[in-house]
Amino acid sequence: MCIRRLFRSSHLQWAWRAAFLKHKQCGHQGPWRWTHSGGGPYRAVIFDMGGVLIPSPGKVAAGQASSATAEQSGKMTEFISNLAWEFAVKEGFRIFKEMPAAKPLTRSYHTWAGPRSLSSTPGTRSYTPLPEPSSAHAPKGALVISPEGLSPPVRELYQRLERFMDQYVYPAEPELQRHQASAERWTPSPLVEDLKEKAKAKGLWNLFLPLEADPERKYGAGLTNVEYAHLCELMGMSLYAPEMFNCSAPDTGNMELLVRYGTEEQKARWLTPLLEGKARSCFAMTEPQVASSDATNIESSIREEGDCYVINGHKWWITGILDPRCQLCVFMGKTDPQAPRHQQQSILLVPMDTPGIKVIRPLTVYGLDDAPGGHGEVVFEQVRVPKDSMVLGPGRGFEIAQGRLGPGRIHHCMRLIGHSERALALMKARVKSRVAFGKPLVEQGTVLADIAQSRVEIEQARLLVLKAAHLMDVVGNKAAALDIAMIKMVAPSMAYRVIDRAVQAFGAAGLSGDYPLAQFFSWARALRFADGPDEVHRAAVAKMELKNRI
């Protein structure tokens, strides 16, 4: 008999393995060498500290016994199991208790949620019911992984939003798609304006503003980032939905910027009409001459002159600037090129009717112009604004931009998960209705593999995004920087792959405007730039990871 102790210090786990090998392998003869009719060796049991007997790869099973020695072998197994247990009790626990506590690995996570058990039904994504929180909001220490785990008021809000999507949004999509392809596409759709009023009347309005930025609920629904994440995913099921609830970019980021950093006068002039849905806005940062993924490269100038600031610069990919409802441009430029690198930029609130703003052209994404908002290339020539247009103060632009982009990127990521869920649902319906090479597509192995892979990737991305939202709620945006960077890496690429599989399953129809897949795909690809290039996020994650002790 050979007894070996297996010990893993990093996990404080050890086990005793009694292994019975052939005579030639272990050098033992006599009654300890077990055989059966096959002549193969038996490896007995691994006994772990949790009190579980686990058969090792050569396990003994009654169904395998075929000789007269089977009964004797079973008795021998029981004997050795008892021997292992006695040895562990008398000697093993003494050794275990005397071991010094191992130093745990340092992880980059700031907090951990309690365990949640999930149950799934084939073909659907369902969750084990969770106990209802006693307060209006789920406890800050709990990561809510499904809508069923939301507090009763927020769950009821989610259900109202879901009904609105079913009753109004999805049925309106064909008409909105036709409008977007028509000659009147640069004029806002009257149907969208009508549905915005319906949503407002049903209390489905300004859901995005996080509770920590608006603790008195003066401006929004007072949701946490995690709570809004679930609703934002639902809105992401349709390209047109976010605007109907006044939850679309770039307005959400600009409104949060005004709430966090704006003066009372700035809020009265700009925040109120944006919150009411009577105006829209844009954010002018990206420039064609420099790599704008590094915001410190921005070259547009903001020069002080008397009681005004004078702006000169060339911007592009300014989302929403072509919308006739766009009244505000949040402009980022340099006020002091000689200041420390991250204190050179400032942000101004520029009315769109200010002389000197010239829209050169709309830009397209894979041939789509995204009317009526579009993405414009714009020149600012001697644009003059009063000094009270400055946000927070000169040199604070980089700080403001970083504060603005945290929550907004959570929103983008959750919308992308909604895109992915819708794409997968369309894919599943499509492959059940199509036959190729003599059998339904759903029976083709490659299709099944694509469906499985898509489900796994969506679930992984959703959990990572929810964790980032949770950390933003409990420790703040700055402390959650690593997790925010990770979701900006993961979510757009995940959506890109999932939607691409759906397009492949649809065939040529997936490339058309008959389904939302082509636009979903273009948005997923574009957001790998709009939220910063993948390479920037990978570098940020790697640098933060290398700072952690191992």
CATH number, domain of 406, equals: 1.20.140.10
Tell whether the torsion through CA atoms of 399, 401, 407 and 410 is positive or negative: negative
CA dist., res. 261 & res. 275, Å (int): 16
Neighbours of 160 (CB within 10 A): 15
Asked, for residue 182, whether it belongs to a domain, the answer is: no
Answer for the pair 229, 465: CB distance below 8 angstroms, yes or no.
Answer: yes
User: Is 535 within a domain?
Assistant: yes
CA–CA separation, 25 vs 67, rounded Å?
Answer: 23
Q: With residue 359 as reference, give the H or E element that holds it.
A: strand 357-363
Domain count, the chain: 1
Give pLDDT tens digits along the chain (550 positions): 333 333 333 333 333 333 333 333 444 444 333 333 344 443 333 333 333 443 434 443 444 444 455 566 566 656 665 655 555 444 544 444 454 444 333 333 222 222 222 223 333 444 434 444 444 445 555 789 999 999 999 999 999 999 999 999 999 999 999 999 999 999 999 999 999 999 999 999 999 998 888 899 999 999 999 999 999 999 999 999 999 999 999 999 999 999 999 999 999 999 999 999 999 999 999 999 998 878 888 999 999 999 999 999 999 999 999 999 999 999 999 999 999 999 999 999 999 999 999 999 999 999 999 999 999 999 999 999 999 999 999 999 988 887 666 566 689 999 999 999 999 999 999 999 999 999 999 999 999 999 999 999 999 999 999 999 999 999 988 888 899 999 999 999 999 999 999 999 999 999 999 999 999 999 999 998 887 888 888 998 999 888 875 4
Which amino acid, residue 90?
K
Residue 428 corresponds to which tokens in the numbers above? Answer: 């599943």
Residues near 338 by Cβ (< 8 Å), separated by ≥ 6? 344
Characterize the bridge pairing of strands 357-363 and 375-386.
antiparallel
Q: Is 356 exposed, middle or buried (0-12, 13-18, 19+ CB in 10 A)?
A: middle
Distance of CA 273 to the CA centre of its chain: 30
301/309 Cα distance (integer angstroms): 10
Helices (H), 202-320: 225-235, 241-244, 251-261, 264-266, 272-275
Residue 332 lies in a domain: no
**Using alpha carbons only, how large is the chain's radius of gyration in Å?**
30
Helix (H, G, I), strand (E, B) or coil at 349: strand
Give domain status of residue 313, yes or no.
no
Closest C-alpha to 401, from 528, 246, 265, 292: 292
DSSP assignment letter at 444? S
| pLDDT recorded at residue 273 | 97
Q: What is residue 452's DSSP assignment?
A: H
CA angle 413, 416, 418 (to 5 degrees): 115
**Assigned domain for 514 exists:** yes
- The reply to whether 145 falls in a domain is no
In a domain, 439, yes or no: yes
Q: Is residue 143 part of a domain?
A: no
Strand partners, 310: 303, 384
Q: What's the confidence (pLDDT) of residue 211?
A: 87
Q: Which residues pair with 346 in a beta bridge?
A: 333
Check: CB of residue 318 under 8 Å from CB of residue 284: yes
- Residue 469: which domain range? 399-547
